[in-house]
Amino acid sequence: MPIQPSPLRRLLDLIAHHLKAHSEHQTLVQRLGQPLDESQRPAPSALPALVQRHFPQAAANASAADANLHRLVATVAELLTELHWYQRADDGRDPAFAEGHRNAILLGPGGLAAVDGLVLGLTLMAPGVSYPVHRHPPQELYLALCDGQWWREGQPWWAPGIGGLVHNASNRLHSMRAGDQPHLSLWLLFGAGVEAFNARPAGQ
């Protein structure tokens, strides 16, 4: 019998499948297919109450979009209790954000595995919550798993739609916000600066 791939391997394959239609992201597709180094796997955290409360609705919303996203979100659900969830380091200006979000790394520091040149994370936010405007040296590609809005410097807020991609260039100011539904997104950091990011797990 063939060995069943791990949930993380299946998730990476499903993300790669989603990106395959986008010719500009084929380097990421290749990176997602690399062997996984699972030697630094941290102990999982308790599943945050916020995740317990809002993930089911976020997953239901994303799952309705198409069959690949349905499988992708179901695989994220399998991994929820294995992750080390954290709150982004912030200046405390927005208590609603502090209480209304949790992040987790899947690939990279504090994540389930590592691969060269890539960080993969997950963000969940309660309805109505906005992510702080921020920037970082690595480029970032968000995979929207909700109908929320995204923003970047020089461009008005827009909704990429469930399954939509948002590619932010290096050091471009950017943010996102939930509407009346929870926000769920995966994000990939890559390119120059990603190795330095690996030393700062809560910096995204």
Binding site for Fe ion (CB under 5 A): 140
| Nearer residue to Fe ion within complex by CB, 60 or 173 | 173
What 8-state DSSP symbol labels residue 50?
Answer: H
Residue 204 beta carbon to Fe ion: minimum distance, rounded to whole angstroms = 5
CA distances from 66 to 43, 60, 63, 71, 175 (A): 33, 11, 7, 9, 26
The secondary structure of 39-55 as a DSSP string is: TTPPPPPPPPHHHHHHH
Nearest residue to Fe ion, scored by beta-carbon proximity = 140
| Nearer residue to Fe ion within complex by CB, 82 or 189 | 189
| Nearer residue to Fe ion within complex by CB, 140 or 147 | 140
| Nearer residue to Fe ion within complex by CB, 82 or 140 | 140
Residue 59 beta carbon to Fe ion: minimum distance, rounded to whole angstroms = 22
Residue 126 beta carbon to Fe ion: minimum distance, rounded to whole angstroms = 19
Residue 155 beta carbon to Fe ion: minimum distance, rounded to whole angstroms = 15
Provide the 10 A C-beta neighbour count for residue 204: 21
CB-based contacts of 93: which residues, under 8 Å, 6+ apart? 132
CA distance 187 to 141: 6
